[in-house]
Amino acid sequence: MHQPHPPRLADLPRAPAPGGGARRRRRPGRGAAQGLPHPDWHAREDSPLALAQARQTRDELKAAHTELAEDGAIEIVIIKTTGDMILDKPLADIGGKGLFTKEIDDALLQGSIDIAVHSMKDVPTYLPEGMILPCNLPREDVRDAFICLTAKTLGELPAGSVIGSASLRRQSQILYKYPSLKVVNFRGNVQTRLRKLKEGDVHATLLALAGLKRLGMPETATSVLSVDEMLPAVAQGAIGITCRSNDDKMMEYLSSLNHEDTRLAVACEREFLSVLDGNCRTPIAAYAYRDKDGNCSFRGLLASPDGSIVYETSRSGTYSFDDMVALGQDAGHELKSKAGPGFFDGLQ
């Protein structure tokens, strides 16, 4: 009986080493009888977080499906993206966050890989035709971590202190509360940014606590900012996994891993983002979660990059897909109306 080939996962790497690439080495005598490809892939790249997320997905697939627990049943393929390689410019100047997914989307649609593992906050609100996202893994902590060698909190930093962050969402909220601070573009993966901080390039930086936890280094955080201090990015802390929309087997595998509470929260936040037509020039934050009564609580924010203008809204409703999508849309329309067309024109 013919067996379907095993899933090939692509992770979403961050900041690979210059000149890095993949080389393929086949193990002789394996897989041919079953028609199963078993290449090994190696890449010189610098993305422990991306690999951690891919390995988490692999391990969960193996635990849920015995046929995937066999040796060599799942390969991890490293794919470098344009967003990984251009680190000296803000994302908005090189095309936005879609640059972290384009090469991976192409590989998926061309059949080079079978599923793709993404940090959901990097995924554009519209997926390419022929692709579906049937799975969100359980969401990690959504909060941001403050990391500094000289102060315990943002409020303790002296005037003129430089904070490194590539996120306009973080920049706008920092400058709104602490206008005497300075925020500079600060791209690269977790390890790169921590090294630059230690070398004195900046006085402090902010990182997603979820990433630090997945890397097993939450102690790196000097302190953790509450969502009242720093509203998170849309879908922060969530992992999303895509496959081809006509690949029923992969959809079956992925659906078995889906965490429905996370999927609904992410859908709500992404609808809010979609209404605002959010891009990397627009500071937007949102957080939807199940409250103690089992309902959906939502907070959303739209700001100017310099923090001089901040619009906020909140909502609550039934924790169900249709109601949460409508809630996110309604919140987005409210802030879009408050800001007016001139606000968005000024961000182009």
Domain 259-341 in CATH 3.30.160.40? The answer is yes
Whole-number pLDDT of residue 48: 82
pLDDT digits (tens, 9 = 90+) for 292-311: 999 999 999 999 999 999 99
144-224 and 259-341 in the same fold:
no
Q: Reduced to 3 states, what is the DSSP secondary structure of residue 77?
A: strand
Q: Is the dihedral of CA 279, 121, 89, 41 positive or negative?
A: negative
pLDDT digits (tens, 9 = 90+) for 141-180: 999 999 999 999 999 999 999 999 999 999 999 999 999 9
CA distances from 273 to 14, 29, 246, 269 (A): 23, 50, 27, 6
pLDDT digits (tens, 9 = 90+) for 7-35: 667 654 333 332 333 222 333 232 222 22
* 144-224 CATH, one of 3.10.450.100, 1.10.1370.10, 3.40.190.10, 3.40.630.30: 3.40.190.10
What is the pLDDT confidence band of residue 40, given thresholds at 50, 70 and 90?
very low
Q: Which residue has the tokens 């429905």?
A: 260
Alpha carbon distance 124, 97 (integer Å)? 7
Supply 135's token pair: 């799975």
- List active site positions: 122
Alpha carbon distance 275, 188 (integer Å)? 29
CATH architecture of the domain covering 46-136+238-258: 3-Layer(aba) Sandwich (3.40)
Mean pLDDT across the stretch 211-233? 97
Supply 21's token pair: 């690439």
Which residues, listed in sequence order, are joined to residue 316 by a DSSP beta bridge? Answer: 297
User: pTM of the full predicted structure?
Assistant: 0.83
Whole-number pLDDT of residue 200: 94
Stated as kind and residue range, the H or E segment containing 206 is strand 204-208
Domain extent listing, the chain: 46-136+238-258, 144-224, 259-341
Please give the span between the terminal C-alpha atoms of the chain, in angstroms, as a whole number. Answer: 57
